[in-house]
């Protein structure tokens, strides 16, 4: 029997009926999932923006604040702890000269096996060390007949301009579209949601490559290492900010089309136009002006076009104005600038001219009134002339750096030696869950506004629908079935079913045609007569209450079925320092609290039941609510590599260890075809002599009478 029909619908534990007039006064219109979601995103974005503004305006000791923020940014880019500065193993693989410009073809390893291909542009004639620009490229690959010549070939004209105007310039290939092609689009279109669980973003790779590029440049005699600047556009604009924010060797920065506000990304949906390299894993819930504020009081010019659809003008201005307040507080208004040019998201030379002026002033001591002798920047080399590698090294890790760059908890962790060791390990896990994974959960107690929407008895079953606020504006339904005539306090147990989409459809097929008024607006499938007969028998034979909770995005609060849009909904959650799964875990917690709010419903034993990824969510919810007697989890993922998606969690633990934590509090029943993947849990139970009833791994699905 389907477990979701075996444990059917008891959400508010046999609640006493409301007077008929009270039920009639409560609206029963279906909730609009997309409206609820969009309003939620707007509220959360305002909350983050307000917090960031408050931090900027109220901090009196900016150097100290910057040190704390910089540590957070390192962590959110997957660079905490900071990787070792291993031997760069830098090589010059060739050289080409034309029109007074020498280009050296460079390769180095920013970490062992992480290759960075680059071109070093310098004047053919040079008298002493020169100011040096690190140019970080956007997504402009150059690929001919299946051979990638890298982004450095596309953006070569900028390096040429600098070399012709008294600078040296190192242009880096990006991880994606470089000569060794890695990935930037893990959550964008590759379904690598485990990137968030690993605390991984390719933005961290690009930032680290830029930092190590400065290490390399410091070894070159042609370079004045006291006068480093950094610039780039689009993705390169973002990397400009990461490098400048993290590394104070940068003395001037000019990001072009590289940053906008959280409001643009989340509320306006600009995230859809960006891959993952544009974003940190937003553990600490930043708005983007906190990143630019880390550059103060060093010279920063923000550049953009006025019709850029993925970096809208209002968001760019918002970031500039908020950052400007920091510079003003530090007495450095002459060190921040903004420049706009007409156009869309294009690499236009007129937009580059203000950046050139910026470096002339702040790296060469020029005057704001000075004119540039030449602002043209032609591409003078063929892509093949700029290629660094004759062949891809056999030990490269670029193509799978996402599985290497951030630390991961051991896949097969050793069991703790003693109970004392376990207590210390468990305490650390729970602390990190609060500070690194579930930081976005509400910290204040909000009114749940619990209300009864429907109640009816039929076939010996009392069925009711309730609603509550999981968060302000996120209103969820609760469905409850129990034997008619049995009060909540007299039930033997209540089972709370956390539903996924399949579970919701099962609920509709079980009860939809029997109690249609409980499901207003739902398309009701053909009833499952066999399951309903079993349900009636259960309620005749057992004093069990069955609760159903569809968390946000499921059932009445479902949003768009379009898979592309659903992908970017998940990405918008992550930008807010959450995940959809982390907030569904919160929904399950609030469902428990709502259930126990009802008169006498807190007295019976409470069980959880869920399937698939939602089973993982239920497992986590059990850690934070008291007295969950038992968990029945059907085909739960054995690793966060498959789900649930939770920020940073794989950096310190995985689901078998979480199950061990939960197993101390609640009985566990795991129904899975992959029992061996849970060997840590069964080994833990054996080592610490748990009763046989505490943890059981089963291969079959239980029936209603079990």
363 and 334 in a common domain: yes
Total structural domains in the chain?
A: 2
Kind and range of the H or E run holding 515: none
Question: Which domain does 304 fall in, by range?
Answer: 64-396
Q: Which two tokens stand for residue 364?
A: 């060469």
Final residue belonging to a domain, choices 342, 364, 396: 396
The answer to whether residue 433 is domain-embedded is no
For 692, the 3-state DSSP assignment is coil
Quote the tokens at residue 502.
């399949």
Residue whose token pair is 């503004």: 53
Residue 431 falls within a domain, yes or no?
A: no
pLDDT number for residue 165: 96
Shared-domain flag, residues 326 and 444: no
Asked whether residue 56 is assigned to any structural domain, the reply reads no
Query: What's the mean pLDDT when you consider all of the chain?
Result: 93
Contact present, 149 and 142 (Cβ < 8 Å): yes
Q: What is the DSSP string of 369-417?
A: T---S-------S-GGGG---SS--TT--GGGGGGTSS----SSPPPPS
For 557-581, b where at least 16 C-beta lie within 10 A, e where not — what string? bbbeeeeeeebbbbbbbbbbbbbbb
Q: Which of 362, 396, 430 is the last residue of a domain?
A: 396
| Residue 124 · residue 251 · CB < 8 Å | no
Same domain membership, residue 628 and residue 498? yes
Q: 142 and 13, same structural domain?
A: no
Residues 386 and 444 grouped into a single domain: no
Same domain assignment for residues 484 and 632: yes
Task: Report how far residue 20's alpha carbon sits from residue 275's, in angstroms, rounded to the nearest whole number.
Answer: 53
Residues 280, 271: Cα–Cα separation, whole Å: 13
Cβ atoms of 516 and 510 within 8 Å: the answer is no
371-422 residue pLDDT tens: 888 888 899 999 999 999 999 999 999 999 999 999 999 999 999 999 999 9
- pLDDT of 8 higher than 70: no
Residues 6+ apart with CB under 8 A from 513: 524, 526, 527
Query: Which one of 340, 366, 396 terminates a domain?
Result: 396
Domain co-membership, 260 together with 367: yes
- The whole-angstrom separation of Cα 276 and Cα 393 is 26
Please indicate, yes or no, if residue 85 is contained in any of the structural domains.
yes
The DSSP output letter for 19 is P
* pLDDT over threshold 80, residue 259: yes
pLDDT at position 445: 80
Distance of CA 629 to the CA centre of its chain: 32
Together in a domain, 207 and 258: yes
One domain for residues 31 and 68: no
Mean of the pLDDT values across residues 431-453?
A: 94
Each residue's pLDDT tens digit, 487-526: 888 999 999 999 999 999 999 999 999 999 999 999 999 9
Average pLDDT over residues 329-352: 94
Residues 6+ apart with CB under 8 A from 76: 201, 280, 281, 282, 283, 284, 286
Write down the pTM of the prediction: 0.93
Hey, what are 552's tokens? 């946000």
Cα-based distances in Å from 259 to 51, 240, 263, 326: 19, 10, 12, 17
Is residue 58 in some structural domain?
no
> Measured at the alpha carbon of residue 685, what is the angle toward residues 683 and 688, in degrees to the nearest 5?
105
> At which residue do the structure tokens 């510079």 appear?
327
Rounded distance between C-alpha atoms, residue 478 and residue 470, angstroms: 11
pLDDT of residue 25 exceeding 80, the answer is no
Note the pLDDT tens digit of each residue in 180-237.
999 999 999 999 999 999 999 999 999 999 999 999 999 999 999 999 999 999 999 9
Distance CA 94, CA 292 (A): 37
DSSP assignment of 232-292 equals EETHHHHHHHHHHHH-TTEEEEEEES----HIIIIIS-GGGG--GGG----TT---THHHH
Which residues, in sequence order, are CB contacts of 433 under 8 Å at separation 6+?
620, 623, 649
Question: How many other CB atoms are found less than 10 A from the CB of residue 176?
Answer: 22
Kindly give the interhelix angle for 419-432 and 655-665, rounded to the nearest 10 degrees. Answer: 110
- The answer to whether position 389 is within a domain reads yes
Non-local (6+) Cβ contacts of 354 within 8 A are 254, 301, 303, 337, 339
Based on the domain organization, do 389 and 528 belong to the same domain? no
CATH of the domain at 556: 3.40.50.1820
Alpha-carbon gap, residue 158 to 384, rounded angstroms? 18
Please list the residues that pair with 303 across neighbouring strands. 256, 339
Three-state DSSP string of 205-230: HHHHHHHHHHHHHCCCCCEEEEEEEE
Q: Which two tokens stand for residue 430?
A: 């729970």
Q: Is the pLDDT of residue 40 over 60?
A: yes
Please report whether residue 415 resides in a domain.
no
**403 located within any domain:** no
Q: Provide the Cα torsion 431, 435, 436, 442; round to 10°.
A: 120
Gap between the Cα atoms of 608 and 589, Å rounded: 11
| pLDDT-derived band at 700, boundaries 50, 70, 90 | low
> pLDDT digit string (tens) for 357-380?
999 999 999 888 888 888 888 999
Cα 44 to Cα 273, 475, 491, 551, 700: the distances in Å are 21, 16, 39, 18, 42
Question: Which H/E stretch holds residue 345?
Answer: none
Q: Does 347 share its domain with 223?
A: yes
Q: Are residue 38 and residue 92 in the same domain, yes or no?
A: no
At residue 599 the predicted structure's pLDDT band, cuts being 50, 70 and 90, is low
């Amino acid at each position: 029997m389907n477990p979701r029909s075996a444990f059917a619908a008891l959400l508010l534990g046999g609640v006493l009926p409301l007077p008929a007039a009270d039920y009639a006064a409560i609206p029963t219109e279906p909730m609009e999932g997309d409206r609820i979601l969009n309003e939620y995103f707007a509220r959360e974005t305002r909350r983050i923006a307000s917090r960031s503004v408050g931090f900027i305006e109220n901090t009196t000791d900016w150097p100290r604040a910057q040190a704390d923020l910089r540590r957070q940014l390192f962590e959110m880019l997957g660079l905490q702890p900071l990787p070792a500065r291993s031997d760069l193993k830098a090589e010059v693989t060739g050289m080409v000269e034309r029109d007074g410009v020498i280009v050296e073809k460079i390769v180095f390893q920013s970490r062992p096996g992480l290759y960075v291909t680059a071109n070093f542009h310098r004047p053919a004639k040079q008298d002493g060390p020169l100011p040096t620009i690190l140019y970080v490229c956007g997504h402009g690959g150059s690929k001919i007949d299946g051979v990638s010549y890298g982004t450095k070939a596309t953006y070569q004209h900028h390096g040429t301009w600098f070399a012709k105007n008294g600078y040296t310039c190192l242009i880096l290939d990006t991880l994606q579209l470089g000569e060794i092609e890695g990935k930037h689009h893990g959550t964008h279109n590759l379904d690598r949601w485990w990137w968030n669980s690993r605390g991984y973003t390719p933005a961290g790779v690009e930032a680290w490559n830029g930092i190590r590029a400065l290490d390399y440049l410091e070894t070159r005699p042609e370079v004045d290492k006291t006068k480093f600047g950094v610039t780039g556009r689009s993705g390169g604009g973002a990397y400009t900010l990461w490098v400048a924010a993290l590394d104070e060797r940068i003395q001037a920065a000019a990001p072009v089309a590289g940053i906008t506000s959280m409001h643009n990304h989340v509320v306006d949906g600009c995230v859809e136009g960006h891959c993952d390299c544009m974003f940190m894993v937003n553990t600490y819930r930043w708005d983007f002006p906190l990143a630019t504020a880390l550059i103060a009081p060093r010279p920063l010019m923000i550049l953009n076009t006025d019709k850029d659809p993925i970096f809208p003008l209002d968001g760019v201005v918002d970031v500039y104005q908020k950052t400007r307040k920091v510079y003003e507080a530090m007495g450095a208004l002459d060190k921040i600038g903004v420049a706009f040019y007409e156009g869309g998201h294009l690499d236009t030379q007129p937009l580059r001219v203000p950046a050139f002026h910026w470096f002339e002033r702040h790296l060469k001591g020029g005057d704001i009134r000075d004119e540039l002798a030449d602002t043209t920047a032609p591409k003078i080399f063929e892509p093949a002339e700029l290629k660094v590698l004759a062949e891809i090294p056999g030990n490269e890790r670029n193509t799978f750096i996402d599985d290497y760059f951030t630390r991961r908890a051991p896949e097969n962790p050793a069991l703790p030696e003693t109970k004392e060791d376990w207590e210390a390990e468990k305490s650390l896990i729970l602390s990190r869950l609060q500070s690194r994974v579930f930081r976005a959960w509400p910290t204040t107690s909000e009114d749940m506004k619990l209300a009864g929407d429907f109640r009816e008895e039929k076939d010996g079953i009392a069925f009711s629908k309730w609603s509550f606020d999981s968060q302000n504006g996120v209103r969820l339904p609760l469905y409850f079935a129990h034997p008619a005539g049995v009060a909540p306090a007299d039930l033997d147990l209540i089972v709370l079913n956390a539903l996924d989409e399949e579970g919701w459809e099962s609920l509709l097929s079980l009860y939809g045609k029997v109690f249609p008024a409980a499901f207003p607006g739902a398309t009701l499938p053909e009833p499952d007569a066999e399951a309903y007969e079993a349900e009636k028998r259960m309620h005749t034979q057992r004093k069990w209450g069955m609760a159903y909770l569809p968390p946000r995005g499921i059932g009445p609060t479902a949003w768009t079925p379009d898979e592309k849009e659903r992908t970017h909904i998940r990405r918008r959650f992550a930008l807010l320092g959450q995940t959809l799964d982390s907030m569904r875990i919160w929904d399950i917690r609030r469902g428990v609290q709502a259930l126990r709010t009802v008169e006498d419903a807190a007295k019976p034993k409470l069980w959880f039941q869920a399937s698939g990824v939602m089973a993982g969510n239920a497992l986590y919810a059990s850690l934070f609510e008291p007295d969950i007697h038992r968990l029945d989890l059907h085909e739960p993922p054995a690793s966060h590599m498959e789900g649930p998606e939770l920020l940073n969690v794989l950096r310190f633990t995985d689901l078998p260890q979480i199950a061990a934590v939960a197993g101390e509090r609640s009985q566990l029943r795991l129904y899975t075809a992959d029992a061996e993947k849970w060997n840590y849990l069964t080994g833990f139970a054996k080592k610490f002599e748990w009763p046989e009833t505490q943890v059981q791994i089963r291969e079959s699905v239980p029936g209603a009478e079990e």
